[in-house]
Structure 1
């Protein structure tokens, strides 16, 4: 997983509230088990609308999404996060999220920042006035900065540590591989074990 320390990029101001995961990526696009290849399905139904903000030429290459309250509600599909990342977003900023979506985002390397509604409104105003306006999301200092705006944010310390280190949950666990091996070596032989492979017809001791 790519480390997230400080990211600066242009933004997509999405002035919509109560955006559920089926709007982020409709269910008909969720057939693959791959984590990649979902960018074209992001907001697929809305992108059929002429002039939808994501597809405007001036928003090309934007890497910060600024959304309204209750972003990512609805189903728990991880595809919503995968589609946002595939499109190139490194961070989402909103006043409130669906809990499962935010958890999925943080474990997949997409920083979901919670800011007050007034700060989100200001970001909308700044980035709508000039599409070249850059937003900095600083995880090290826990602050969002943009054209004179400096707004602190909170993030769970465990998630912050993993994002700063570029560690998904498996990589985070494997930091303790030697300790786990020592523990396993000292367990009583009669206790159950987990093996990487099993030969058919052979019962593990």
Structure 2
């Protein structure tokens, strides 16, 4: 998993509450178990018209936001079903950080397992960040995970809190398997002792 230390990029504003995982990646895209190629389906029901052409009014289709790396969204982001395809689609599109006032628990957990940083901020701070994100090509934010700060285009910064264990996982780029392998020697030692003490197992 790619490490997350400091991210600087365009932030796209999506001031909609209760964005569920079906909106993030519709069920039509759930046939695959590959983590790549899902970016084209991200928000597809809003991004595309019925004839397959792009909806010019959707934020990620606007020239300034086509390469957005950060999403500033409304309350309760990622609610609905537990599909892991949702963070896969965000990551495949290029989004590494989502900022909101709250997240659905399963989506929040899945983000960390896939190298995406979900940041919870106060409603007041979200309003400031949403204002920054609405600046189009000038909507550049820097997210510093080590310092736990978000810096806006005018230089103002916002502190955010994050669980130390989750922070470490992203800083080191550790998925579940890599995290387990960090304890490989301890696991091997335990297994050797168990085999000697209980050879019937």
Calculate the TM-score normalised by the size of structure 1.
0.89
Q: Which residue of 1 aligns with 2:200?
A: 190
List per-residue Cα deviations over 1:62-105 (Å, max 9, x = no partner): 10011011110000000000000000011000111111100100
Q: Which residue of 2 aligns with 1:203?
A: none
List per-residue Cα deviations over 1:147-205 (Å, max 9, x = no partner): 233111111111111111111111011011122112111212111xxxxxxxxxxxxxx
- Correspondence for 1:139 among 134, 141, 145: 145
Structure 2 segments unaligned to the other structure (5+ residues): 49-54
Q: Which residue of 2 aligns with 1:25?
A: 25
Q: Number of aligned residue pairs: give it.
A: 191
Structure 1 segments unaligned to the other structure (5+ residues): 192-205
More helix by percentage? 2
Secondary structure, aligned partner of 2:31: coil
Q: Distance in 2 between matches of 1:9 and 1:38?
A: 21
Calculate the TM-score normalised by the size of structure 2.
0.91
Q: Which residue of 2 aligns with 1:125?
A: 131
Q: Which residue of 2 aligns with 1:83?
A: 89
CA contact (8 A) 2:42 2:93 kept: yes
CA shift at 1:61, angstroms? 1.4
Q: Find the structure with the greater CA-based Rg.
A: 1
Q: Which residue of 1 aligns with 2:104?
A: 98
Q: Which residue of 2 aligns with 1:165?
A: 172
